[in-house]
Amino acid sequence: MNEVKKFSLVKPTLQTPFHIDFEWWQENDRNWRVELRSLLCAEHQAAFAELPEDQMIDWIDPETAEVQQMDGLEHALISHCARREGFLENTTMVDAVFRLLLANGNAPMSAQELGARLNRPADMIFAVSQRQCAHVGAGTRRAPQPSSGYDLTDAGRPARV
């Protein structure tokens, strides 16, 4: 049976927050770990060379002290490699947005915020994001069910792009 894709009249704007939807990326790109590994610093490339592909770690939220299982590769990128000097330099705009989201701990950022940090026009980042989100696994705040377009069924938050 074909799955029905839901659409909404809600359209993203320059203020719509984007983040990297790792779950979507894992489901839609078999080589997603290769891309993430290529972004690791030399120290973490060596550390992850001998570890299993899907090494999970226990991460403690500094605000709530809640222990959560987290992908070790994602954690290393977000907490260390993406914060190193030069991580955002000499790259395409799409890759710069992806890397900035990593450097920002994957906290949602709007096109306006991304533009200000990357020193590029927000409307250009927004236009590129609309064409390239699926390529890099970026999306707006994600609703729990798969969706194409926007769906406001999850507490008023739009689904991934």
| Residue 54 domain-assigned (yes or no) | yes
In this prediction, residue 114 carries a pLDDT of: 95
Structural domain that includes position 101: 18-140
> Partners of 64 in the beta sheet?
none
| Residue 5 domain-assigned (yes or no) | no
| Residue 68 domain-assigned (yes or no) | yes
Q: How many CA atoms lie within 13 A of 76 on its CB side?
A: 22
Q: Tally the domains of the chain.
A: 1
From CA 150, how far away is CA 44, in angstroms rounded? 36
| Residue 11 domain-assigned (yes or no) | no
In this prediction, residue 1 carries a pLDDT of: 52
In this prediction, residue 9 carries a pLDDT of: 60
| Residue 145 domain-assigned (yes or no) | no
| Residue 59 domain-assigned (yes or no) | yes
pLDDT per position as a tens digit, 13-55: 899 898 888 888 778 877 778 888 899 999 999 988 888 877 8
From CA 135, how far away is CA 38, in angstroms rounded? 16
| Residue 147 domain-assigned (yes or no) | no
CB environment 47-84: b (16+ within 10 A), e (fewer): ebeeeeeeeeeebeeeeeeeeeeebbbbebbbeebbee
| Residue 80 domain-assigned (yes or no) | yes
Lowest mean pLDDT among 26-30, 69-73, 112-116, 151-155: 151-155
